[in-house]
Structure 1
Amino acid sequence: MTETKPWYLSRTIWASAVAVLTGVAGAAGLPFDAADGTLITDTLLQGVSAVAGLIAIIGRLSAKDRIG
């Protein structure tokens, strides 16, 4: 495993964040299943990937210098 990726594309980070949030929500009285946490993680990861792609496209289109 020599390749790196940004932290926000890590499934582990998002799953951990969802686990913390669902734990807090459960303590506050909101019911959550394990399946809900998985669905939320997948949805968040897809959203982050889409936003990262858009930022990359916008950044490349607004760049002043060539890639060389």
Structure 2
Amino acid sequence: MKTMKPWYLSRTIWAALVTILTGAAGLAGASPEQVDETALTDALLQGVGAIAGLVALFGRLSATDRIG
């Protein structure tokens, strides 16, 4: 592998982070029965939207080429 990519584009890193967070939540006593599925879905979608916005903004601010 000669090319490099940012860590946040790695599916392996994201899968590992989700696994770690899920395990930590289980250790902390979180139970799937206590989760409101609708609220969880809304929160996840809002989080993904916020992260996507930040990535887009950061990408544009750090770009070296013009959009054209």
User: Taking structure 1 as the reference length, what is the TM-score of the superposition?
Assistant: 0.50
Within a 5 Å distance, the mapping from 1:1-68 to structure 2 comes to 3-32=3-32, 47-60=50-63
Distance 1:26 1:48, change over 3 A: same
CA RMSD, aligned part only?
3.9
| Cα displacement (A) at 1:47 | 5.0
**Where in structure 2 are there 5+ consecutive unaligned residues?**
33-40
CA contact (8 A) 1:7 1:13 kept: yes
Q: Residue 7 of structure 1: CA displacement? A: 0.5
* TM-score, length of structure 2 as denominator length: 0.50
Instruction: Tell me the number of residue pairs that the alignment of Structure 1 and Structure 2 aligns.
Output: 57
Higher RCO (CA < 8 A, seq sep 6+): 1
Distance verdict in 2 for CA 1:13–1:45, change over 3 Å:
farther
- Decide whether aligned partners of structure 1 residues 22 and 15 sit closer, same or farther in structure 2, where only a CA change above 3 A counts: same
